[in-house]
Amino acid sequence: MTAIVRRRCLIVLALACAVAAPPPAFAQADRSAMTTGQLYQAACSACHGADGKGQPRSIVGFDTPLPDFTDCAFTTPEADLDWTSVIHRGGGIRALDRRMPAFGDALSGEEIERLIGHLRGFCAEPAWPRGELNFPRAFFTEKAFPENEAVFTFARQGGGELELETAFLFEQRLGRRAQYEINVPLAFHQDVAGAWRRGIGDIDLAVKYALYDNLARGFIAGAGGEVTLPTGRESSGLGRGVTVFDVFGAIGQALPHASFVQVQAGLELPADADVAGKEAYWRTAVGKTFAAGRWGRSWSPMLEVLGARAPGAPTDWDFVPQLQVSLSGLQHVLVNVGLRIPVKQPESRARTLMVYLLWDWFDGRLTSNWRRR
């Protein structure tokens, strides 16, 4: 078992202990008068201990070590929905261990919320943004939330010349708020004569930092920088032939009924103005997430509006309608399909079909936790 899968399994075991069947004296009437701390002591401390660090194996009676809820890197990335789903419906609803039973009939929704809140309180560092602020990824609009993801993107542009481009993006979180990412594109161009040109495009290196977050208001803001290296052959149309620096800001805001809006604005600054010019851009993604049966597969239709303008040139506008869907039962593998539609000058800019496969590698292996049980 890998360390990644073990971390997810620890969540299941943790929740299983957190909602273990109460003793006969632990009646509903008695629980209604309990404080959250008393509820935790009665229902959870036998496994997790009063401090949330977990009882030793000699006490709990199984070999798998219990998680440390004081570890903020462990407790903050998951949204409450992920935890409440396995408590209400059991581990199988997220393709996890079936030994985690469903307790939706044994505990009230209010009690489950109180227990989860208490468990989260063991993280003593409030500077970690919560998973509720990690909104669905759009194709172009950068998120403010720091992530651990791998994204494979495919784009096909029609027109006089057929252009295919694939890109592999790797992102890793650094500590509480920072993230770095590497994007490696591979391009294939076919000209009108049928000849193909192929090769690596310009590689992007980027960093991002979450400057501010407010869970109660559903708001997060961040900033970042990116450098695009001229690794692609400009003569073959696979690169721009110049190093480009990019600075940007990004915000995300939760809206009512599981809706959200994300906005990014930035400026591209080439190292050699004779090769490429400066360009300002702004991007907005608006969407809403639906869950099948409340706990099941997630569907997130989104619309991106993209704007870009170089000095002395007209503004380019694009619409990108898209639909993101979770594929795995754990919801750590998702697919997004969209179409980039030029609004201005469509005769010179063809439509582009886009698809990405996203893997949240922090949650589990790419091939694991697919089928709900």
What does the pLDDT look like over 165-215, one tens digit per residue?
999 999 999 999 999 999 999 988 776 667 777 889 999 999 999 999 999
SS3 letters across 189-235 = EECCCCCEEEEECCEEEEEEEEEEEECCCCEEEEEEEEEEECCCCHH
Residue 367, helix vs strand vs coil: coil
Is pLDDT of 36 > 90?
no
Task: Answer yes or no: CATH 2.60.120.10 is held by domain 132-359.
Answer: no
Residue 11, helix vs strand vs coil: helix
Q: What is the dihedral angle through the alpha carbons of 216, 333, 286, 307, rounded to the nearest 10 degrees? A: 120
Q: pLDDT grade, residue 142 (50/70/90)?
A: very high
Q: What is the mean pLDDT of residues 135-152?
A: 96
Is pLDDT of 347 > 70?
no
Q: pLDDT grade, residue 68 (50/70/90)?
A: confident
Strand partners, 286: 261, 303
Tell me the angle at which helices 109-120 and 3-18 cross, rounded to the nearest 10 degrees: 130
Cα–Cα distance list, 199 to 106, 168, 189, 191, 237 (Å) = 59, 14, 9, 15, 10
Residue with token string 């784009």: 155
Q: State what percent of residues in the chain have pLDDT above 70.
A: 83
d(CA 23, CA 32) in angstroms, rounded, equals 15
d(CA 84, CA 147) in angstroms, rounded, equals 22
Q: pLDDT grade, residue 304 (50/70/90)?
A: very high
What does the pLDDT look like over 150-160, one tens digit per residue?
999 999 987 66
Neighbour tally for 134: CB within 10 Å: 20
Q: What DSSP designation does 46 have?
A: H
Per-domain residue ranges of the chain: 3-120, 132-359
Cβ(117)–Cβ(148) below 8 Å = no
Phi first, then psi: give them for residue 311, nearest 5 degrees.
-55, 130
Averaged pLDDT score across all residues of the chain: 84
